[in-house]
Amino acid sequence: MKFICLGYADMSKFAAMDPAELQAAMDECFDYDDLLRKGGHFAGGEALQEPSKAVTLRFRDGRVQLTDGPFAETKEQLGGILILEADSLEHAIELMSKHPGVRTGPFEIRPADESINGLIQAREQRFASNSTKK
């Protein structure tokens, strides 16, 4: 099963770290990601730029409205995602509870929606085959 792990952090903590301290924290996370890779559990991930670079879209009053910044006004903001392969939610919790990133902020773990993702993959395959016919 695929799980999406959303890592949150208080960005002010990272801003307060000296470069060596920040690099050591990142290296510790990368080392654990390598363990997940070796076990066949790391299926991908993306780091995100700081929340101030975000734009939030909302549909209101019949049109799309733009707001600079993240949707939530909270101390902890989404910092990145990790795509995890695990046998069950309990297994995903077990794996992510050992991730060093948990010490800097919470991780939300959600099962991927395999039925919708299957529809997306089928559509991508149709698009790719139609693109090669042109």
* Interval 44-57 mean pLDDT: 84
pLDDT at 76 over 80: no
C-alpha 127, offset from chain centre:
26
Supply the pTM of this predicted model.
0.79
Q: Which of 76, 82, 74 is nearest to 11 (CA)?
A: 76
Distances (CA, A) of 18 to 2, 23, 24, 124: 35, 9, 10, 43
Q: Which two tokens stand for residue 21?
A: 């301290």
Domain ranges of the chain: 2-49+77-133
| Mean pLDDT across 62-79 | 77
Measured CA to CA, the distance from residue 6 to residue 99 in angstroms comes to 12
The answer as to CATH 3.30.70.1060 being correct for domain 2-49+77-133 is: yes
Query: Both tokens of residue 123?
Result: 């559509």
Summary mean pLDDT of the chain = 88
